[in-house]
């Protein structure tokens, strides 16, 4: 069964949503029901690919074991005071935007990135359902035997080993794809890996104090965003799954979720289908026309692909948001009118927001602060530019280990770095708020984004084929 396209999926979804809605309207918890439904959907998803299903089960067991051991080893060390962020990073309600802007390296929505900053003896604010006590209802208590000594392993080295283990299956899968194989691969591996790595990072930052198997499993197998996102944050999910909304709040959440789901169906089934037809038939319709008409057809096809990609991907995301709302989970928003962006930074604050903000918080911000802390690069601007190239290069490779995906990531890294330099010019400071500048900037950004999609799709190919 294929999510969001197979008719069987929608039939099963309706059957699963009815009890969920009843529980929500009665003000009852859906915590265990959601876990059971998610496991059922994933069983259908992997029913025709049992080897991929086994790879997924293996990764679940591996990630939980490694994360649990990491939490135990970390909690066995002398206590550290770690600062929790002022707000949950990545929280995007159904009708709101995530705070902070891409490329803004101020720590307004990021976790404590490089170390403790609380005064000695003070405690960070508690995260509901996460940092409450040393014991958990589901059976993991990060305690140590009396008289034992903490392991003499450098914490950063231990953290890097854990992240490396969690990334290994994804790296193996991406590398094996170069040889038309699928080593340890399964549908959704990229998104699941981001989730497991994020949990490890938050354990390292001291933001997760307990790790129950039920909630951890529910977070990873939550089925609406499993195959195509959006990427959820663990503390957001834990807050939602452990909090039973008031009946009036659930009614509003359910209504808005149903609306988002229907809009997503329209995006996916109608809008993306129209542009998909244009991609394949626009150049062919010109036949033996002049080279000018052929070039125009190729340009039209590139723009059609850009709109197809948006409506297809945004359709998936909106349906996931809507389904999540029925189950009482606020799945983060993934798109916010991206083609209205007036510059390339604005675009990455609007396009694939859950991925963009994840990379911003866990890659870009950490890289910039590490470089500044150790004074590896003298210039603040040069540090940011290097961070953009690293960040977007990883984004490209996350999609696949191919020249086109890498080029797509580096292309956007160069655009972001160039815009960082341009923002410091007197011309930009004089004209940035004028209407003519904003119109021209929007037009330039729109066309640069479409060129990037042509690189991403392989229409502008670097492989020579």
- The CA distance from 331 to 243, in Å, is 15
- The CA distance from 111 to 124, in Å, is 12
The model's pLDDT over 332-354, given as tens digits with 9 standing for 90+, comes to 999 999 999 999 999 999 999 99
Q: Do 315 and 358 sit in the same domain of this protein?
A: yes
In the listed set 212, 229, 245, which residue is the last one of a domain according to the structure?
A: 245
Q: Do 77 and 165 sit in the same domain of this protein?
A: yes
- The CA distance from 73 to 70, in Å, is 5
Nearest to 258 by CA among 328, 319, 332: 319
- The CA distance from 201 to 214, in Å, is 20
The model's pLDDT over 41-86, given as tens digits with 9 standing for 90+, comes to 999 999 999 999 999 999 999 999 999 999 999 887 665 433 444 3
The answer to whether position 98 is within a domain reads no
- The CA distance from 451 to 460, in Å, is 8
The answer to whether position 2 is within a domain reads no
Q: Which domain holds residue 354?
A: 252-457
Q: Do 209 and 262 sit in the same domain of this protein?
A: no
Mean pLDDT score, 272-299: 75
Q: Do 309 and 237 sit in the same domain of this protein?
A: no
Does position 4 have pLDDT exceeding 70, yes or no?
Answer: yes
Q: Do 169 and 229 sit in the same domain of this protein?
A: yes
| Catalytic entry in 399, 412, 419, 431 | 399
Angle between helices 50-75 and 155-177 (to 10 degrees): 170
Tell me the CA distances in angstroms from 347 to 170, 260, 286, 317, 413, one per residue in order: 27, 22, 33, 17, 13
The answer to whether position 400 is within a domain reads yes
DSSP string, 217-236: HHHHH-STTTTT-PPPPHHH
The answer to whether position 107 is within a domain reads no
- The CA distance from 265 to 5, in Å, is 10
Contacts of 462 (CB under 8 A, 6+ apart): 403, 404, 407, 455
Q: Do 67 and 33 sit in the same domain of this protein?
A: yes
Q: Which of 118-132, 225-239, 252-266, 423-437 has the lowest mean pLDDT?
A: 118-132
Q: Do 201 and 302 sit in the same domain of this protein?
A: no
Number of H helices, E strands in the chain: 17, 0
| Confidence band, pLDDT 50/70/90 cuts, at residue 181 | confident
Query: What percent of the chain clears pLDDT 90, i.e. is strictly above it?
Result: 67
Contacts of 102 (CB under 8 A, 6+ apart): 345, 348, 349, 356, 357, 360
The answer to whether position 111 is within a domain reads no
| Confidence band, pLDDT 50/70/90 cuts, at residue 104 | low
Q: Do 263 and 183 sit in the same domain of this protein?
A: no
Does position 412 have pLDDT exceeding 60, yes or no?
Answer: yes
336 belongs to the catalytic site: no
Q: Which residue has the higher pLDDT, 35 or 302?
A: 35
- The CA distance from 93 to 229, in Å, is 15
Angle between helices 435-457 and 403-422 (to 10 degrees): 160
Q: How many other β-carbons are positioned within 10 Å of the β-carbon of residue 68?
A: 17
The model's pLDDT over 136-166, given as tens digits with 9 standing for 90+, comes to 333 333 334 444 454 456 888 999 999 999 9
Please tell me what DSSP assigns to residue 458. T
Contacts of 225 (CB under 8 A, 6+ apart): 191, 231, 232, 317, 320, 324, 331
The answer to whether position 148 is within a domain reads yes
- The CA distance from 190 to 389, in Å, is 20
Q: Do 228 and 257 sit in the same domain of this protein?
A: no
Q: Do 322 and 426 sit in the same domain of this protein?
A: yes
In the listed set 245, 278, 307, which residue is the last one of a domain according to the structure?
A: 245
Query: Alpha helix (H) ranges present in 178-246?
Result: 189-204, 213-221, 234-242
Q: Do 276 and 215 sit in the same domain of this protein?
A: no
Q: Do 323 and 441 sit in the same domain of this protein?
A: yes
Rg (CA), the chain: 23
In the listed set 245, 276, 304, which residue is the last one of a domain according to the structure?
A: 245
Q: Are 306 and 449 in contact (CB under 8 A)?
A: yes
Tokens of 308: 């197809």
Count of domains observed in the chain: 2
Tell me, what's the pLDDT at 301? 86
């Amino acid at each position: 069964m294929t999510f969001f396209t197979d008719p069987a999926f929608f039939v099963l979804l309706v059957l699963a949503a009815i009890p969920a809605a009843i529980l929500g309207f009665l003000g009852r918890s859906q915590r265990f029901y959601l876990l059971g439904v998610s496991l059922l959907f994933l069983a259908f998803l992997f029913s025709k690919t049992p080897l991929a299903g086994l790879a997924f089960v293996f990764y679940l067991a591996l990630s939980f074991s490694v994360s649990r051991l990491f939490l135990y080893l970390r909690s066995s060390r002398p206590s550290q005071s770690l600062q929790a962020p002022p707000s949950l990073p990545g929280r995007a309600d159904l009708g709101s935007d995530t705070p902070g802007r891409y490329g803004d390296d101020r720590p307004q929505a990021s976790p404590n990135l490089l170390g403790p900053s609380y005064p000695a003896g003070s405690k960070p604010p508690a995260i509901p359902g996460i940092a409450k006590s040393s014991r958990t209802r589901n059976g993991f208590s990060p305690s140590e035997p009396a008289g034992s000594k903490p392991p003499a392993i450098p914490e950063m080295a231990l953290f890097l080993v854990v992240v490396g283990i969690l990334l290994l299956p994804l790296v193996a899968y991406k590398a094996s794809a170069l040889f038309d194989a699928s080593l340890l691969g399964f549908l959704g591996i990229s998104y699941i890996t981001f989730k497991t790595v994020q949990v490890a990072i938050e354990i390292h930052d001291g933001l997760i104090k307990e790790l129950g198997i039920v909630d951890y499993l529910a977070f990873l197998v939550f089925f609406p965003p499993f195959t195509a996102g959006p990427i959820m944050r663990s503390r957001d999910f834990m807050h939602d799954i452990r909090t039973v909304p008031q009946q009036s709040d659930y009614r509003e959440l359910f209504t808005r979720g149903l609306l988002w789901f229907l809009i997503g169906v329209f995006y996916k089934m109608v809008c993306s289908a129209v542009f998909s037809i244009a991609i394949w038939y626009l150049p062919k319709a010109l036949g033996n026309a002049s080279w000018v008409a052929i070039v125009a057809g190729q340009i039209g096809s590139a723009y059609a692909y850009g709109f197809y990609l948006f409506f297809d991907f945004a359709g998936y995301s909106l349906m996931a948001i809507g389904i999540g709302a029925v189950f009482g989970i606020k799945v983060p928003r993934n798109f916010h009118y991206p083609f209205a962006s007036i510059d390339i930074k604005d675009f990455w604050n609007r396009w694939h927001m859950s991925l963009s903000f994840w990379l911003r918080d866990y890659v870009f911000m950490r890289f910039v602060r590490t470089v500044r802390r150790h004074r590896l690069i003298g210039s603040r601007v040069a540090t940011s530019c290097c961070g953009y190239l690293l960040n977007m290069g990883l984004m490209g490779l996350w999609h696949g280990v191919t020249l086109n995906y890498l080029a797509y990531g580096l292309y956007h890294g160069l655009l972001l770095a160039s815009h960082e330099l341009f923002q410091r010019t007197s011309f930009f400071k004089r004209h940035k708020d004028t209407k003519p500048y904003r119109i021209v900037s929007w037009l330039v950004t729109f066309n640069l984004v479409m060129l990037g999609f042509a690189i991403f799709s392989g229409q502008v190919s670097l492989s020579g084929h």
